[in-house]
C-alpha cells in the first residue's frame, strides 16, 4: 500500500514507545535532525528517559498516557517488539504510527510469524506447533534433538530450552505454564546472518549490508560486516537470497519502519540452506554498526520514516566489527565490581564506544557496544580482537 507522504517539520515532536537503549539511540538520531522526542516508558530512569525532551512515565496500555503522547506528537514509533499491539492500534487512530499493530502482532508470536514467513514462500527451520503435551507426543522424531521456544515474549535466549528427547521437552513445556510453544529441529549451523531494511510509507526501501553474527548464551556477542562467510565462493549467492527474502517479507507485511530479518545458514551435502530464524520489527542489535560505519544509521532511518523524510544512503564507510558490552565486564574474577578500561578502548584507531547510561551493571545485561571501523575487514577484525583482550571478552 502506498500512503500519501506527510512530512513532520523539524522542531516538531516525534513519540516513542519504550525507553531502552534502542530508544536512546533513536532519540539522539531524531534530535540531530532537529526533532523533539517524547518517550512513553514505565521506567523512571531508563536509557531513553535521560536523553529525551519529554518523558511520560506510564504503562504501555495506559489510555490517557497514550492519548497524551498522540496529542503531543505528529508521529509515534517503537523501540522494542513486545509493545502491546493494541497500544499501536490506539495511537494509529490519533496520529501516524509506525510500525503498524498488524505487523508487530505477527512478529510477537512465533507461531504466527513462522506461518506468515512460510506463506511468503521462504523457508523456516522444520518445526511443530505445541499447544499441549499431546502435541509433543505426536511431534515427528526428526525434530529431536530440538529447541522448545515459547510462542511469545522470548528474546536473548529467554523462553527457550534445548531438548534432546520427548521427556525433556515435556518437562520444559510444563515449565512454560500454559503458554503455547514451537518445537524446532536443532540444525547444525554453519553461521548466522541478519539483514536490516528500512521501508518508508511510500513503499520505498533502503537495505543494509548483511551482518554475520556470533551469539553466546543466546545473546548477540559479535557482528561483522561485511560477512566473511558470505564472501566465500560457495556462499556468495546467499547474500542476494537473504536480501531478497528480507524485501519480500517487508513488502508482504506492508511494513513501515526499520525491520531486521535473522537467518540461519545450514551446511548440507549439496550446498547450503537458508532459513529465516525470526523477524524483529524495530532497529536491531546487529545493526548498531550502521551508526559509525554507514552514511545513514538505522536509527536515523527510523526517524526519517516517522517524519516522512526520504530514506538515507546506506553505503558503508568501511568494514566493521561490533562487540556487545554486557554487564559481566564490570566484574572481576572474584565477583568484585570494577570499571572496564575505557581509556584503553578509546585509544584504538577506529574504535567507537557507545554506553547506554544504565545505572546498574548486571551479568548478561546489555550495557553498551563498541564498533571498530577500518578500511579493510582484516584490520577491523584485528583491532576488535585486541579490544576484546583488553576488556576480557572471549576471543571468537
The model's pLDDT over 260-294, given as tens digits with 9 standing for 90+, comes to 999 999 999 889 999 999 999 999 999 999 999 99
**In percent, how much of the chain has pLDDT > 90?**
92
How far is it between the farthest Cα atoms of the chain?
A: 59
Confidence of residue 5 (pLDDT cuts 50, 70, 90): low
Q: pLDDT (tens digit, 9 = 90+) per residue, 146-184?
A: 999 999 876 666 789 999 999 999 999 999 887 899 999
Give the closest residue to 215 by CA, choosing from 172, 257, 163, 277.
Answer: 277
Give the closest residue to 146 by CA, choosing from 171, 107, 183.
Answer: 183
Q: Look at residue 95 and tell me whether its pLDDT is greater than 80.
A: yes
Q: Look at residue 2 and tell me whether its pLDDT is greater than 60.
A: no
Give 151-180 as a DSSP string: SSS--TTTTEEEESSHHHHHHHHHHTTT--
Q: pLDDT (tens digit, 9 = 90+) per residue, 84-94?
A: 999 999 999 99
Task: Say which residues have a Cβ less than 8 Å from residue 170's Cβ, sequence separation at least 6.
Answer: 133, 136
Task: Please give the C-alpha separations between residue 115 and each of 94, 109, 126, 268, in angstroms, as whole numbers.
Answer: 31, 10, 12, 24
Higher pLDDT, 179 or 186: 186
- Residue 367, SS3 per DSSP: strand
Q: Look at residue 239 and tell me whether its pLDDT is greater than 60.
A: yes
Q: H helices within the chain, ranges in order? A: 21-32, 63-72, 85-92, 101-108, 110-119, 133-138, 166-175, 236-252, 290-293, 298-307, 342-346, 377-391
Q: What is the pLDDT of residue 22?
A: 98
Q: pLDDT (tens digit, 9 = 90+) per residue, 35-58?
A: 999 999 999 999 999 999 999 999
Q: pLDDT (tens digit, 9 = 90+) per residue, 340-354?
A: 999 999 999 999 999
DSSP letter for 350, please: T
Q: Residues 164, 169, 170, 174: is their CA dihedral positive or negative?
A: positive
Q: What is the pLDDT of residue 90?
A: 96
Confidence of residue 125 (pLDDT cuts 50, 70, 90): very high
Q: Look at residue 30 and tell me whether its pLDDT is greater than 60.
A: yes
Q: Nearest 5 degrees, angle CA 287-CA 257-CA 294?
A: 35
CA 80, chain centre distance (Å)? 8
User: What are the grid coordinates assigned to 15, written together?
Assistant: 513519540
Q: State the residue for C-alpha cell 559509525.
A: 292
Task: Please give the C-alpha separations between residue 133 and each of 72, 130, 159, 172, 327, in angstroms, as whole numbers.
Answer: 48, 7, 17, 10, 37
Higher pLDDT, 75 or 153: 75
Omega cis (within 30) before 99: yes
CA 270, chain centre distance (Å)? 31
Mean pLDDT of 298-320: 98
CB 146 within 8 A of CB 184: yes
User: What are the grid coordinates assigned to 130, written together?
Assistant: 505445541
Task: Say which residues have a Cβ less than 8 Å from residue 245's Cβ, sequence separation at least 6.
Answer: 120, 122, 195, 261, 263, 274, 276
**In percent, how much of the chain has pLDDT > 70?**
98
Q: Residues 205, 253, 18, 351: is their CA dihedral positive or negative?
A: negative
pLDDT, mean over the chain: 95
Q: What is the pLDDT of residue 269?
A: 86
**Domains in the chain: ranges and CATH:** 13-107 (3.40.50.20), 126-185 (3.30.1490.20), 189-391 (3.30.470.20)
Amino acid at each position: 500500500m502506498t500512503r500519501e507522504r506527510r512530512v513532520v517539520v523539524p522542531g516538531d515532536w516525534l513519540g516513542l514507545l519504550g525507553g531502552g537503549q534502542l530508544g536512546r539511540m533513536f532519540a539522539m538520531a531524531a534530535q540531530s535532525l532537529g526533532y523533539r522526542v517524547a518517550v512513553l516508558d514505565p521506567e523512571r530512569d531508563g536509557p531513553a528517559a535521560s536523553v529525551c525532551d519529554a518523558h511520560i512515565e506510564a504503562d504501555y496500555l495506559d489510555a490517557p498516557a497514550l492519548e497524551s503522547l498522540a496529542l503531543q506528537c505528529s508521529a509515534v514509533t517503537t523501540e522494542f517488539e513486545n509493545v502491546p499491539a493494541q497500544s499501536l492500534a490506539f495511537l494509529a487512530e490519533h496520529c501516524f504510527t509506525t510500525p503498524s499493530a498488524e505487523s508487530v502482532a505477527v512478529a510477537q508470536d512465533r507461531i504466527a510469524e513462522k506461518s506468515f514467513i512460510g506463506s511468503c514462500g521462504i523457508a523456516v527451520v522444520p518445526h511443530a506447533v505445541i499447544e499441549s503435551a499431546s502435541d509433543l507426543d505426536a511431534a515427528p522424531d526428526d525434530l529431536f534433538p530440538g529447541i522448545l521456544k515459547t510462542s511469545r515474549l522470548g528474546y536473548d535466549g529467554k523462553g527457550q530450552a534445548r531438548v534432546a528427547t520427548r521427556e525433556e521437552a515435556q518437562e520444559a513445556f510444563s515449565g512454560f505454564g500454559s503458554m503455547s510453544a514451537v518445537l524446532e529441529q536443532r540444525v547444525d549451523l554453519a553461521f548466522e546472518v541478519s539483514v536490516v531494511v528500512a521501508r518508508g510509507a511510500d513503499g520505498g526501501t533502503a537495505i543494509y549490508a548483511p551482518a554475520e553474527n556470533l551469539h553466546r548464551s543466546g545473546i548477540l556477542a559479535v557482528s561483522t560486516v561485511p560477512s566473511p562467510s558470505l564472501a566465500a565462493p560457495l556462499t556468495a549467492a546467499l547474500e542476494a537470497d537473504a536480501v531478497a527474502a528480507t524485501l519480500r517479507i517487508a513488502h508482504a507485511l506492508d511494513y513501515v519502519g526499520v525491520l531486521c530479518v535473522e537467518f540461519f545458514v545450514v551446511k548440507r551435502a549439496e550446498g547450503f540452506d537458508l532459513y529465516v530464524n525470526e523477524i524483529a520489527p524495530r532497529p536491531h542489535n546487529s545493526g548498531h554498526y550502521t551508526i559509525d560505519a554507514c552514511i545513514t544509521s538505522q536509527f536515523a532511518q527510523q526517524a526519517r520514516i516517522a517524519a516522512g523524510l526520504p530514506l538515507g544512503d546506506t553505503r558503508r564507510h568501511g568494514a566493521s566489527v561490533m562487540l556487545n558490552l554486557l554487564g559481566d565486564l564490570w566484574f572481576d574474577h572474584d565477583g568484585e565490581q570494577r570499571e572496564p578500561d575505557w581509556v584503553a578502548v578509546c585509544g584504538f584507531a577506529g574504535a567507537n564506544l557507545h554506553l547506554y547510561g544504565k545505572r546498574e551493571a548486571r551479568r548478561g545485561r546489555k550495557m553498551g557496544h563498541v564498533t571498530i571501523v577500518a578500511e579493510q575487514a582484516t584490520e577491523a577484525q584485528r583491532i576488535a580482537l585486541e579490544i576484546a583482550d583488553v576488556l576480557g571478552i572471549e576471543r571468537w
